[in-house]
Amino acid sequence: MALTLILIIITILCGSAVYKEFKSQNIFGVSLTGLSTILFGFLSVTTII
């Protein structure tokens, strides 16, 4: 349960980083943080299941 909460918090932080990098028009940053968001989101969902 604790791992799930940690992964969800990391996913939310990565999502806010995507918004920040998109706002500054940094395409490389958007792609890396977007990939991190997808990865941690997938891991948090699979941990819940």
State the burial class of residue 40 (Cβ atoms within 10 Å of its Cβ: 0-12, 13-18, 19+).
buried
Beta carbons of 20 and 42 less than 8 angstroms apart: no
Interval 8-35: pLDDT, tens: 999 999 999 999 999 999 999 999 999 9
Instruction: Quote the number of domains for the chain.
Output: 1
Structure tokens at 20: 């920040």
Rounded to a whole number of angstroms, the distance between the first and last alpha carbons of the chain is 11
Is pLDDT at 1 greater than 90 in this prediction? no
- pTM, full prediction: 0.84
- What is the extent of the structural domain holding 12? 2-48
- Residues 34, 19: Cα–Cα separation, whole Å: 9
Residue partners of 2: CB distance under 8 A and separation at least 6: none
